[in-house]
A and B are shown apart, each in its own frame.
Chain A
Amino acid sequence: MFAELNSILNTFPDKFSQEEFIIISERRCDASFLIHHFLSFYLRARCKVCFLGLVQSFSHYNAVSQRLGVNLVQAKEKGQLVFLEGLQESLSHLVPQEGQAGSEALNFLGDPTKGLQDLFQFVRSSCSGPSGALGCTDRSGGPEEWGPPVLLVDDLGVLLSLGVSVGTVLDFSHYCRATVCSRLQGNVVMLLHCDEEEDDGDDEGAEQLLKGLTHQCSLTLHVQGLPTGYCRDIHGQMEVCWRRQQADEQHTLNKLFQYKVHDKGASFFARGTSSAFL
């Protein structure tokens, strides 16, 4: 959880807006630090989190989250976190072995044209399931109650790489938004990696997906590497775009920051005001 980002987005673990659909798009850089931020943020806010971690292994996310002060193993045991480890579950689909059936959520690996219904069922059952594990109790003796459900997806581009079409991914995100945001009053955060395409002949792809998602979302964080190349002190820039005006606050629709990722967090600053130069 990055304190600076919290103040930029005006969200805090004890007071954050619900029914938000947040899109993180990354271009020429690695914005996974934002996924780690949101993961630790919502776990601290005592929400029920369903995390589709398709890119890295569970131990990677756990190691990074520990540096941010959150223990994923404990959260999983308590029932607060439902984690789908894409890499591990995919092996049983990609290298089929007798007697071993993989998680049904990744059934689309066997036939990408069939769609992501199974994955959506997994999300729906994780988010709307009983809000506490049966085994653990809070101080008053009842099962622990978690807050509104949150869905985190890292990363949608992997679904495209595995053969799922753009339309299917858009449908999936729409279903997730309808279920988690509207019906369950939770939040959804999705990460999408796009590369710049040199010519526009290729309509299918991450660009089209990004346009479709940006239309549906309430907050977009566009993260880009610096156009001038690598810099040791500035890792990139981030543009924050709100699509809905908050009722009680007046703020500008777009804000642009540059950021640097540290071992335990990230610092954001206005363009040109990096501590390396001042």
Chain B
Amino acid sequence: MAAPVSGVGNPGVRSSSLNSTSFQKKTRSKLLSIPGTRPSVQNGQLLVSTGVTSLDFLLGGGLAVGAVLLIEEDYYDSYSRMILKYFLAEGVVCQHELFVASAQDSPNDILQELPSPIMDDVAIPKPVEQPRLSSEPQDSLDTMKIAWRYQNLPKVQSTLTSSSRFGHYYDVSKTMEAEIRQAAKCHCFNLPDHPQQTTPSYSPTLESYSALLKSLQEVIQKEGFAVTASSGKSRNILRIGLHSLGSSLWGDDLCCCDNPKHTHALTTFLYGLRALLRSSLAVAVVTVPSHLIQNRALMGRIAKLSDTAIALESFKGSERETNPLYKDYHDVLLSRQAGGYSAATP
């Protein structure tokens, strides 16, 4: 006689956390699994959402980790700023770290204006909609008879575990609540706080850009975003938002002169930014007031040094928000997609 075999699905002991099942998706060990990212369909490259789901679709699923997205600002910097805020808000919701740099407004002002996420899986206790007709005790109604294994799981996800989702929706008419925003770690770089020191040696780029690069490198190294950093602690993504680079407030005269003296300051900075990003788990969104730059060839070179470039042109007359993407080339890390230069979306 065979010894009685203990039941395979012994419901008694359920170890570890009660708020998730013990099912673990088997992931390839080579790919990092970081909340808020997903691998690209085409080449397995880690993608991050920009916060605007239709923009993610245009970019081929999302923004690749290690890539730079260049946004050419529209005249009043309204929609480009909006996209920047969406990008940062997405970082807050996915619990990424943020780095915001601005010469014009204080980075804290930008952070105050982040749109509020629309959370449909937030734990709101469901009000009892109908009065109980029967007088049966609550227990028997709530005990599950068929799916009894899931008895102990909470009915509603009670934590901000939106990390499983990629891309969220935001309500622009409301700003993000302070407690959600403060849950995310933000590094700010406000240019007026960094006094310009004249260095005796020639600097390849402007003081302001050098200081920004240095600050970025410090954050990346200290907080462990470098790809080669030890994988002891859990990895996270650093979202970098650089507002209005190239404007006069950064000390650059690209936007004010026809023949600027510092023609290659911004391009050198972008090259350094690309170098930093390729070796770290970070994504950058840079906005540039291109309508002020007279030299189209220079603008072309700036766009070439970014991985993806989009331009925004809003119609001031009609109050519709439109953004024809007329310059969009896509050179995602680890892929060879030849980009399109088109009015239609690729």
Contacts and interface: CB of A to CB of B under 8 A. Distances in A.
A36 B305 CA distance: 19
A64 B204 contact: no
Interface stretch (A124-132, A157-165, A169-177, A240-248): A157-165
Interface stretch (B94-102, B122-130, B209-217, B314-322): B209-217
Contacts of B148: none
Contacts of A63: 43, 334
B333 A109 contact: no
A229 B271 contact: no
Given A91-B276, A110-B202, A36 B301 contact: no
B340 A161 contact: no
Contact of B341 (A29, A33, A111, A202): A29
B305 A161 contact: yes
A78 interface: no
A225 B341 contact: yes
B278 A230 contact: no
Interface stretch (A9-17, A144-152, A191-199, A267-275): A191-199
Given A95-B213, A198-B296, A229-B344, A109 B336 contact: no
Nearest to B305: A161
A95 B214 contact: yes
A161 B267 contact: yes
Interface in A218-263: 225, 229-231, 235-236, 261, 263
B217 A30 contact: no
B336 A36 contact: yes
A94 B333 contact: no
Given A229-B344, A235-B338, A206 B297 contact: yes
B268 interface: yes
Interface stretch (A42-50, A52-60, A180-188): A52-60
Contact of A111 (B202, B329, B343): B202
Given A90-B275, A109-B204, A60 B341 contact: no
A197 B296 contact: yes
A205 interface: yes
Given A110-B204, A161-B264, A198-B296, A91 B217 contact: yes
Interface in B244-292: 263-264, 267-268, 270-272, 274-276, 278-279
Given A87-B274, A163-B268, A229-B343, A30 B296 contact: no
Interface string A94-135: 110000000000000111100000000000000000000000
Contacts of A32: 331, 336
Interface in A16-49: 28-30, 32-33, 36
A210 to B, nearest CB: 12
Contact of B336 (A28, A59, A261): A261
Given A111-B202, A160-B301, A162-B267, A88 B275 contact: yes
Contacts, number: 122
Contacts of A231: 340
Given A94-B213, A109-B204, A162-B268, A236 B338 contact: yes
A93 B139 CA distance: 70
A195 B333 contact: no
A33 B278 contact: no
Contacts of B263: 163
Contacts of B43: 63
Nearest to A235: B338
B205 interface: yes
A197 to B, nearest CB: 5
A63 B341 CA distance: 25
Given A161-B264, A161-B268, A29 B296 contact: no
A115 to B, nearest CB: 14
B336 A64 contact: yes
B297 A93 contact: no
Interface in B292-339: 295-297, 300-301, 304-305, 329, 331, 333-334, 336-339
B271 A230 contact: no
Given A225-B340, A230-B346, A205 B272 contact: no
Nearest to B44: A63
A101 to B, nearest CB: 14
B342 interface: yes
A79 B340 CA distance: 37
Nearest to B273: A94
B267 to A, nearest CB: 4
A111 B296 CA distance: 25
B341 A28 contact: yes
A54 B201 CA distance: 25
A230 B344 CA distance: 7
Contact of A195 (B201, B300, B334): B300
Given A30-B338, A90-B275, A229-B341, 16 more contacts: A30-B337, A30-B339, A57-B278, A87-B271, A88-B275, A94-B204, A94-B268, A111-B202, A157-B304, A162-B267, A162-B268, A163-B268, A195-B301, A198-B296, A230-B344, A261-B337
22 contacts: A30-B338, A33-B338, A56-B333, A57-B278, A64-B336, A94-B213, A94-B271, A112-B264, A160-B301, A161-B267, A161-B268, A161-B301, A197-B297, A205-B297, A229-B340, A229-B341, A229-B343, A229-B344, A230-B340, A230-B342, A235-B338, A261-B336
Closest 6 CB pairs of A and B: A230-B340, A195-B300, A230-B342, A229-B342, A163-B264, A161-B267
